[in-house]
Amino acid sequence: MALVTPVDIVPLDQLGRVHFVGIGGAGMSGIARVMLARGVAVSGSDSGSPGMLSELAALGAEVHAGHAAEHVGSAATVVVSSAIRPGNPELAEARRRGLRVLPRAAALASIMIGRRATAVAGTHGKTTTTSMITTILRECGADPGYVIGGVLAATGRGADDGAGRDLVVEADESDGSFLMLSPQVAVITNVEADHLDNYPGLAEIRAAFAAFARRVSPGGSLIICADDAGARAVAAASAGLPIRIRSYGTSPAAGFRVSGIIPRGMGTTFTMTAIVGGPGPDPTADFTSRTVPITIAVPGRHNVLNAAAAFAAAAELGIPGPQAAAALAAYRGAQRRMEPKGTADGVRVLDSYAHHPTEVAADLTAARDLADGGRVIAVFQPHLFSRTRLFAADFGAALGLADEAVVLDVYAAREDPEPGVTGRLVADAVPAGRPRYVPDAAQVPGVIAEIAKPGDLVLTMGAGDVTALGPVIVAVLRARGVHG
């Protein structure tokens, strides 16, 4: 994969019929859903995701299973994600016919035109923060549009056009395509080394986020996490821009300050104190005395910070603090974000999208609180050969936070295999005596049935198809309990 070259943003009514190559993906399907709601003729293809294809077909899209040149049909615009390879027959056909070819972010930018847009970027926490901001606006009656890289539990969808003025979107930094977006409010949750198949190093990643900050509309807002060195660096680089810069976190320097974090089962309580003047539409407002208690129904310190980001964004959008706090209490999570999959024979099973060492460590720390004295068993599937090679030692250290670690083989996604790069690299990096390398995913439920005890918590982790194991593990544990 390589960094996407920015292109001119085309208004929605000038795109003509739009064909999505890989329409079943979370981001692509969301954009397609919004375009369909606005009356755009949409077609698309995907080699998987039959459920999503059926959903989009029911909304009026012409969908195809698999890829073939003829699927492009009468499209005037073809949208591709960074996961689509140059040899894809539909992309090749679009090039041959001289059709307009847009990266996914350019299509997202098209649907942002005319809306008050909030874009959430960061190495971690994008989906949850985007979902929380969406929830606040929904609960406060704003009826926002949203495009999330996951499924919002409250609606069962990852996208909706909404009837209100606001549109909340997840901004993808992995291929640099977030530099096509021009939001009124931008959130940067954190900036760490990742996607090093595209970026030479952390300096270039920070430069990309600084460029993203420069895309914020004049008079708009940039919201950064004061606890994160990378986000603070972006804020410092943005000091001269004609925008408001807000910060949140547990740091004494944060404008929206978090304190009193208390884990409570699958939820967390904390206190938010807004100590900056003038957020939102009233530049004379004084928030120095505004302190509100907040309860969220998701675990972990990282989710507290995500909620703080959403609270700060809501303030910039004119939502009063008490209303935002009440709305956050209604947040019920997003799929694959510490999502409960079931309990059987005294063992709880959760599923997480964590696929970076920092995310793995954060979710395992939260799992430790949830286990309440029981053991934590991690089932981890590395994602991408390049990421596995570069971060194997860090993944191993993070998995050391679990009592038991089961490591699968690498989920290739968009990459070709690399000699010598397998899940064993990660397993071998886990502290001695704990790791189990199980390259055949079909064997994992049996392994869990052998090692899990009543009171344990099992957490499946990764951005690939490891998510399918949760229900199977629950079923095997249930059978174990019956046949004992």
Pairing assessment for the beta strands 145-152 and 185-188 based on DSSP bridges: unpaired
The residue written with tokens 């064909």 in the block is: 19
Q: How far is Cα 378 from Cα 404, in angstroms, rounded to an integer?
A: 6
Catalytic residue among 126, 130, 388, 460: 126
Place 278 in a pLDDT band, splitting at 50, 70 and 90: very low
| Neighbouring-strand partners of residue 271 | 259, 293
CATH code for 12-106? Answer: 3.40.50.720
Q: Tell me: the pLDDT tens digits for 200-256?
A: 888 889 999 999 999 999 999 999 999 999 999 999 999 999 999 999 999 999 999
Residue 127 annotated among the catalytic residues of the structure: yes
Place 2 in a pLDDT band, splitting at 50, 70 and 90: low
Please tell me whether residue 139 adopts helix, strand or coil conformation: helix
Catalytic residue among 118, 123, 127, 189: 127
Place 3 in a pLDDT band, splitting at 50, 70 and 90: low
pLDDT at 195: 65
Task: Give the end-to-end CA distance of the chain in Å, rounded to a whole number.
Answer: 49
Q: Do domains 114-329 and 339-483 have the same CATH topology?
A: no
pLDDT at 161: 97
pLDDT at 276: 60
Q: How much is the mean pLDDT over the chain?
A: 90
Contact 134, 30 (CB under 8 A): no
CATH class of 114-329: alpha beta
Across residues 451-477, what is the average pLDDT?
94
Neighbour count for residue 318 (Cβ, 10 Å) = 13
| Neighbouring-strand partners of residue 251 | none
Q: How far is Cα 96 from Cα 105, in angstroms, rounded to an integer?
A: 22
Catalytic residue among 170, 192, 339, 415: 170
pLDDT at 331: 92
- The pair of structure tokens assigned to 132 is 């929380």
What percent of the chain stands above pLDDT 90?
72
pLDDT at 196: 63
Contact 157, 195 (CB under 8 A): no
How long is the chain? 484
Calculated CA dihedral for residues 139, 144, 149, 153, nearest 10 degrees: 30
Domain boundaries, the chain: 12-106, 114-329, 339-483
pLDDT at 356: 84
Q: Tell me: the pLDDT tens digits for 412-456?
A: 877 889 999 999 999 999 986 668 999 999 999 999 999 999 999
CATH class of 339-483: alpha beta
Residue 118 annotated among the catalytic residues of the structure: no
Please tell me whether residue 173 adopts helix, strand or coil conformation: coil
Q: How far is Cα 100 from Cα 98, in angstroms, rounded to an integer?
A: 7
The pTM assigned to this predicted structure is: 0.82
